[in-house]
A and B are shown apart, each in its own frame.
Chain A
Amino acid sequence: MLNELTANEKRRYSRQIILPEIGAEGQARLKAARVLVVGAGGLGCPVLTYLTAAGVGNIGIVDSDRVEISNLHRQVLFGEAEIGRMKAEAAVDKLQNLNPIVNFKSYSLLLAPKNALSLIENYDLVVDASDNFPTRYLINDACVILDKPFVLGSIHRFQGQVAVLNYGKAGQEKGPSYRCLFPKPPAPETVPNCSEIGVIGILPGIIGSLQANEVIKMIVGYGKILSGEILFVDSLGLRFRTLKISRNSAIIEQTLRLKENLPEFDYDAFCSESRTGGEIEHISVRELQRELENNGELQLVDIREPFGLEGKIPGSESIPLSSFGQHLDQISREKKVVIYCYHGNDSQAVIRFLQKEYGYRNLVNLRGGYAAWRNAADLGGTE
């Protein structure tokens, strides 16, 4: 049974209740809905704003990051006062003010194979507003296993993608999953992220709004759902194209077979395995911490650009990617050299380049980059 709307709710949502496509019944459906938004960043901010304003009754927010000043040009839920706060908690405070009758739950943690199924289980649908491939494949696999639809959004410079995946009305055949579209993740060195190649703030605003639009249509049950298709948006040329995609039942079955082993599946390793060229040695945050504690002989190099950084790994020296060529003499050839960036993609590209062009044999990539380090630190260390 759908919840009755209160007088207050009828007033608040009156302008959308008048629309025959929504009505009081559609509004009651929104009120009863449970949506999990993974990522409270560039995409998550507009998604959360519009879902909250529209009256989606139960919203979960997953994000393990803190607000940084370089986020503010696109993560429009946050202002200077939120710098340094956990994004999931700061977002709830803002959204609660926008619409106090929504039930929010913040999860200041990394969506991980160990917690994904138990988290997603509590929601009707998921919004993928993440910014990396390990999380995107994890959301896909968990949603296929739990038989829930999810709305993908992703951006690259001035372009974006939106798709409703694993969606089907009761009794109908389901649409494709993310793995049906991209069975294998790309080589990490071919996919720089926003912190490394830049992004204009309005772009995730557009893409996130399109994601929220699909969520509201799915819950209320009106309009055409972007299922069986992926929408490509180019904000420079203002081109919109939808490409049809098919569900691949063999791939779906493979995903379903992951069920028992999902908590142990290593998505970071999976997303590193399509790398091209020579082998790269990786070190985990836990192993690095152990080596640092034991005063191991190693050089730690931070290749992130220095502006807007909120922290670094103690003992590391900064050699930004943009000026790397002039500082090659600073990279040891004897000691083990651990190189890190924000997420562990650019560092792999740098290592590959130095191995190939300069014959380095002592370079190690920090898996997951600074983000993984900080997450471990937030959890009070790894041991």
Chain B
Amino acid sequence: MKVKVLFFGSLGEVAGREELELNDIPDTDHLLSRLRGLYPALTQHTFRLAVNQTIVEGAALLNDNDEVALMPPFAGG
């Protein structure tokens, strides 16, 4: 089972990439702990998770080929 992860804004700079595919991720809690293991600086950042283009409240189950976007607030104008 694989999940596609998208890093928006400054999170792309934290991860050093804009996309990532991960296997065996049953839900968003597991996804977050995997991502924090890969990119420890993520813990300092504020962002929301969108599963298949809907922002989720709390943990959400993930299915094969789901797309999860990490969206931080942008400051600039």
Count of chain B residues near A, Cβ 8 A = 22
Q: Is the CB of A241 within 8 A of B46?
A: no
Tell me the minimal C-beta distance from A52 to chain B in angstroms.
19
Q: Is the CB of B46 within 8 A of A156?
A: no
Known: A156-B9, A186-B45, A242-B53. A237 touches B75 (CB 8 A): no
Within 8 A of A (CB), among B26-77: 43-46, 48, 50, 53-55, 57, 69, 71-77
Known: A182-B46, A190-B10. A155 touches B77 (CB 8 A): yes
Known: A131-B76, A193-B75, A232-B8. A237 touches B18 (CB 8 A): yes
How far apart are the CA atoms of A153 and B71 in the complex, in Å?
Answer: 15
Q: Is the CB of B55 within 8 A of A246?
A: yes
Q: Is the CB of B8 within 8 A of A159?
A: yes
- Of the listed residues A182, A185, A186, the one surrounded by the most CB atoms of chain B closer than 10 A to its CB is A186
Among candidates B43, B55, B77, residue contacting A243 with C-beta atoms closer than 8 Å:
B55
Among candidates A41, A185, A192, residue contacting B73 with C-beta atoms closer than 8 Å:
A185
Q: Is the CB of A204 within 8 A of B55?
A: no
Q: Is the CB of A133 within 8 A of B8?
A: no
Against B, the Cβ 8 Å flags (1 = close, 0 = not) of A44-69 are 10000000000000000000000000
Q: Is the CB of B77 within 8 A of A186?
A: no
How far apart are the CA atoms of A159 and B18 in the complex, in Å?
Answer: 12
Count of chain A residues near B, Cβ 8 A = 48
Within 8 A of B (CB), among A121-153: 128-133, 136, 153
Q: Is the CB of A42 within 8 A of B10?
A: no
Q: Is the CB of B74 within 8 A of A161?
A: yes
Q: Is the CB of A160 within 8 A of B74?
A: yes
Tell me the nearest residue of chain A to B73, going by C-beta: A182
How far apart are the CA atoms of A274 and B48 in the complex, in Å?
Answer: 16
Q: Which residues of A contact B55 (CB under 8 A)?
A: 181, 230, 243-246
Does A154 interact with chain B (Cβ within 8 Å)? yes
Tell me the minimal C-beta distance from A183 to chain B in angstroms.
9
Known: A182-B48, A230-B71. A39 touches B54 (CB 8 A): no
Does A184 interact with chain B (Cβ within 8 Å)? yes
Q: Which residues of B contact A155 (CB under 8 A)?
A: 74, 76-77
Q: Is the CB of B77 within 8 A of A42?
A: yes
Q: Is the CB of B54 within 8 A of A190?
A: no
Q: Is the CB of B9 within 8 A of A186?
A: no
Within 8 A of B (CB), among A201-258: 204, 230, 232, 234, 237, 241-246, 248
Tell me the minimal C-beta distance from B6 to chain A in angstroms.
8
Q: Is the CB of B77 within 8 A of A191?
A: no
Tell me the minimal C-beta distance from B69 to chain A in angstroms.
7
Tell me the minimal C-beta distance from A198 to chain B in angstroms.
10
How far apart are the CA atoms of A160 and B55 in the complex, in Å?
Answer: 17
Q: Is the CB of B46 within 8 A of A185?
A: yes
Q: Which residues of B contact A244 (CB under 8 A)?
A: 50, 53-55
Does A199 interact with chain B (Cβ within 8 Å)? yes
Q: Is the CB of B9 within 8 A of A276?
A: no
Does A43 interact with chain B (Cβ within 8 Å)? yes
Q: Is the CB of B54 within 8 A of A43?
A: no
Q: Which residues of B contact A246 (CB under 8 A)?
A: 55, 57
Does A194 interact with chain B (Cβ within 8 Å)? yes
Q: Which residues of A contact B50 (CB under 8 A)?
A: 243-244
Q: Is the CB of A191 within 8 A of B48?
A: no
Q: Which residues of A contact B57 (CB under 8 A)?
A: 246, 248
CB pairs A–B below 8 angstroms (10 shown): A154-B73, A154-B75, A154-B77, A156-B9, A181-B73, A186-B45, A241-B53, A243-B50, A243-B55, A276-B43
15 additional contacts (CB under 8 A) given A245-B55, A246-B55:
A131-B75, A136-B73, A156-B76, A181-B55, A185-B73, A187-B45, A191-B73, A191-B75, A232-B8, A242-B53, A243-B48, A243-B69, A244-B53, A246-B57, A248-B57
Nearest first, the 3 closest Cβ-Cβ pairs linking A and B are: A131-B77, A186-B46, A154-B74
